[in-house]
Structure 1
Amino acid sequence: MKLSLGPLQYYWPRTTVFDFYEAMAATAVDIVCLGEVTCSRRHELRLSDWLDVAQLLREAGKTVVLSTLVLLESGSDVGAMQKIAANEDFLVEANDMGAVGALAGRKPFVAGPHLNIYNAPALRWMAEQGATRWVAPLEMKRDDLALLQRERPAGLQTEVFAHGRLPLAFSARCFTARHRNLPKDDCRFSCLDHPDGLMLQTREQADFLVLNGIQTQSARVHSLIDAWDDLVALGVDVARISPQAQHTAEVVALYDAVRRGALASGQARAALLPLLPPAQHGAPDCNGYWHGQPGQDRIEPSAAAVAA
């Protein structure tokens, strides 16, 4: 099974982004997804910069994928998406149906997690459009994925979001700007101050969600590091790790150790927990969706085996 690094969900300074991917070039990750997927107002890097990063990673032996924006809100957003789709050098991950339309019948592509593919007919249709890999929806449980794995078209690879805060929803409204009483069009790029997003708590001071501009994320980090045997048994081709502000290289190393059989999954999770973005209250990780439970829950492997 290959390891992929998902697209950067947060807004980091330009030099931080370049330094980050230089570090990622030296890790065991096989596939790297690049590009702005969250907000079109984030302009620290332009397409030409992403292409420079892509070339750096390609020279390091990585397979590079250019990811498109999830929510297209203007003609300029559509134009930017079409430029990515038209590139001749790198595979493209389509994150909305506009990108699928721009790629269908023209070149192979990756069907991103936000296309919401939940059944075999939709999966077959996407493969007919040219998808060579699809990323399962974030909330898809193990048993449902097993059904789709049995019915997926020949030659279509499956990728699963295995690590990171879950990008649950996107809105035309910017919640980070709203938090500062700023309009979206004059957000003053507030996301730069929150490299792992802005924690939202309930009135009882419980961690609830993370605000990341127009994106809403899970408060807890979703982790399937101790479900690696499940992924292998299901025939998953790629496990995706989402970047975080610190310790991403160490996270990749732990997943790689489990992949190689050098570290037991339970030991790997124990080593993983101190590397996660700090949580103010409660458990820092979750895996509920994978087990058909509320996403914020943490299901222990022994309990999951009993339930099965």
Structure 2
Amino acid sequence: MNVHLGPLLFFWPRQQVEDFYRAALETPCQRIYLGETVCPKRRELKTGDWLALAQALTAAGKEVVLSTLTLIQAPAELSIIKKLCEQGELQIEANDLGAVQLAHEHGLPFVGGPALNVYNLDTLRILLDKGMTTWVPPVELSRDWLLRIHRAAEAAGVRDRFQLEVFGYGHLPLAWSARCFTARAENRPKDECELVCIKYPGGLRANTQEGQPAFNLNGIQTQSGYCYNLINDRDGMAGWVDAVRISAHSPACLEWIARFKAPNGKPWPLASRYCNGYWNQLPGMEWLPAPASIEA
């Protein structure tokens, strides 16, 4: 099973981004996703910079995919995706149906990102016909739900047309809004945010009144409060999941690439509190330490 490094969801200074991806070259991840998926105002690296970084990582032996914005609100944002499609060499990760259509028009294969609402075989087949080569399911789908789609795709003879990549580690991207929660937390209007999210390189935690992490706020994106972790669920993925995604959210996340790549054995000892509820058909913030049995 391959391990992929997902796009950076947070806003970091340019030098920190470059250092992070330089370190990622030393990991056993097969594929690296690059690009801004959350807010178009984040421009420490512009489109040309992402393309140059992609070329450097490709030359170093990594497979690179260019990720696109999830919430498209202006023609200028569509034009950025069009520019990514026009480069014609690297796949894009389409996180909006507008990006799907642009990739299809340019004859460019694409990854169907987790923000696309794909919950059944019929929708999956539409995207395959548009040129999708990898499917990253919505993060709320359980293992049993995905297994049913996997088996349906096998029965329909289309399972060999795509890789199945499961979000395996990181703060789950749950929702996007026209409002910026980080700016609001600092009493700033969105249009005058002054990019305050760069002050929160790992997001801004929102707790319940009892002090339990409920959400992680990242600009216009709402994430899970707990870090999602399927390290001890790998045995149940054998034979049908092609890749696991490690979400790029801190330099320390690179250590998890080798951990997920290591041979399965006894459960990985975990000192921190994580969540894996969605995978196990439980409320998302729940944590099931031992893997549940697979549906027969």
1:305 paired with 2:293, answer yes
Structure 1 runs not aligned, ≥5 long: 275-282
Which residue in the other structure is 1:250 paired with?
Answer: 255
Which residue in the other structure is 1:30 paired with?
Answer: 30
Which residue in the other structure is 2:231 paired with?
Answer: 225
Which of 194, 198, 207 is matched with 1:188 structurally? 194
1:158 paired with 2:146, answer no
Deviation at 1:20, TM superposition (A): 0.3
Residue range with higher mean Cα deviation, 243-252 or 132-141: 243-252
- Identity among equivalent positions (%) equals 42
Match of 2:248, SS state, is coil
**Residues 260-284 of structure 1, C-alpha deviations (whole Å, 9 max, x = no match):** x2x62513x43xx46xxxxxxxx2x
Change (3 A) 1:46 1:205: same
Looking at structure 1, the residues matched to 152 and 134 of structure 2 have their Cα atoms a distance apart, in angstroms, of 14
1:286 paired with 2:292, answer no
Match of 2:151, SS state, is helix
In the alignment, residue 9 of structure 1 is paired with which amino acid? L
**Residues 228-269 of structure 1, C-alpha deviations (whole Å, 9 max, x = no match):** 011114x11111000122312211121121xxx2x62513x4
In the alignment, residue 28 of structure 1 is paired with which amino acid? P
Asked if the contact 2:9–2:36 (Cα under 8 Å) also holds between the matched residues in 1, the reply is yes
**Residues 45-82 of structure 1, C-alpha deviations (whole Å, 9 max, x = no match):** 01111112112211221100001000011111111111
Deviation at 1:85, TM superposition (A): 1.9
Which residue in the other structure is 2:183 paired with?
Answer: 177
Asked if the contact 2:2–2:261 (Cα under 8 Å) also holds between the matched residues in 1, the reply is no
Asked if the contact 2:203–2:218 (Cα under 8 Å) also holds between the matched residues in 1, the reply is yes
In the alignment, residue 264 of structure 1 is paired with which amino acid? G
Asked if the contact 1:227–1:265 (Cα under 8 Å) also holds between the matched residues in 2, the reply is no
**Residues 122-151 of structure 1, C-alpha deviations (whole Å, 9 max, x = no match):** 011110111111111101101110111112
**Residues 78-135 of structure 1, C-alpha deviations (whole Å, 9 max, x = no match):** 1111111222121111000000110125121111111110001001111011111111
In the alignment, residue 195 of structure 2 is paired with which amino acid? F
In the alignment, residue 228 of structure 2 is paired with which amino acid? H
1:89 paired with 2:78, answer no
Which residue in the other structure is 1:280 paired with?
Answer: none
Change (3 A) 1:90 1:299: same
Larger fraction in helix = 1
Give aligned pairs, total: 290
Looking at structure 1, the residues matched to 102 and 226 of structure 2 have their Cα atoms a distance apart, in angstroms, of 35
Looking at structure 2, the residues matched to 136 and 238 of structure 1 have their Cα atoms a distance apart, in angstroms, of 12
RMSD in angstroms over aligned alpha carbons?
1.6
Asked if the contact 2:236–2:294 (Cα under 8 Å) also holds between the matched residues in 1, the reply is no
